[in-house]
Amino acid sequence: MTSTIPPTVGREQAERRVLLVAHTGRADIREVVTEAADRLAEAGVTLVALPDEGPDLGLAVSDDRPVELVLALGGDGTLLRAAEQARPLRAGVLGVNLGRVGFLAEVDADHIDAVLDAIVARSYRLVDRMTVDVAVEVAGEIVYTCWALNEISVEKSSRERILDVVVEVDGHGLSAYGCDGVLISTPTGSTAYAFSAGGPIVWPAVEALLVAPLNAHALFARAAVVGPDSTVTVHLDPDGHDGTVACDGRRSFDAPPGSRVHVRRGVTPVALARIGDEQFTDRLVRKFALPVHGWRDQRH
């Protein structure tokens, strides 16, 4: 699932450009952006922004010219927006956390100087993260397709109702239950929505799909980890209620009763930029403030 890509491959261009995606409307972020733009400009790197964010951030708007990297300033939601921009360009995403947890970000705000130094020197490396593709089938016809970095969710459309589904793996029924919904997550997404739903944490190097029911009314309602080449299908009861299919909580589709939602490994990954050598275990402990000193340490 993961592979390291030299950041210089295909990026040797006369004009160096970095696309910024930021959480706008905050004075502290505007200040960080100004400092970053000045620092990069001194090194011959132009920082540009999305059309609806450029005026607020005081940056030129991105055009059709290529960019070598997408810099995300904000929380995980901002990084997911940045991934939408970077994925079709096959550019890396380098995240700086200016939010709360910011699990996907490479560094927190107090290390932004290291990020800018890495951009200038092209000393970052790109690591592919697995994505998921979804296809919604209605009456034998594919009516909607999308992708996600974290997860695909199939959830009830109305709060007061129950969504009746059958979950299948490679065409074989796994379980049927009434529920609030079902998540199909990547390893990256295992620390996001799926984590809140009680699913296991899956290390990024593990190639797998995580299936997690949401508040299911069933004896067997445990999260399951299936192979990366499997197809997970969520079949909505034809006599039941509508559902909503959401990709990373950002792009959605209203699925009528009887819909079949097929989720499989994504064709195109998202490349996350790394500038340090922090291990996933250490990041997990740091972000979730996990206790790593047990009774053995307390004896001394």
Residues present in the chain in total: 300
Distance CA 187, CA 267 (A): 16
Please give the distance of CA 242 from its chain centroid, rounded to a whole number.
26
Please give the distance of CA 86 from its chain centroid, rounded to a whole number.
12
Distance CA 46, CA 68 (A): 11
Q: What 3-state DSSP class applies to 212?
A: strand
Distance CA 145, CA 155 (A): 17
Run of H or E including 183: strand 181-185
Instruction: Give the contacts of 251 (CB within 8 A, at least 6 positions apart).
Output: 146
Strand pairing of 163-169 and 232-236?
Answer: antiparallel
The answer to whether the Cα torsion of 246, 250, 253, 257 is positive or negative is positive
CA distances from 90 to 215, 217, 260 (A): 37, 42, 30
Residue entry with tokens 């959480």: 23
Which candidate in 52, 76, 170, 254 is catalytic?
76
28 noted as active-site residue:
no
Residues noted as catalytic: 76
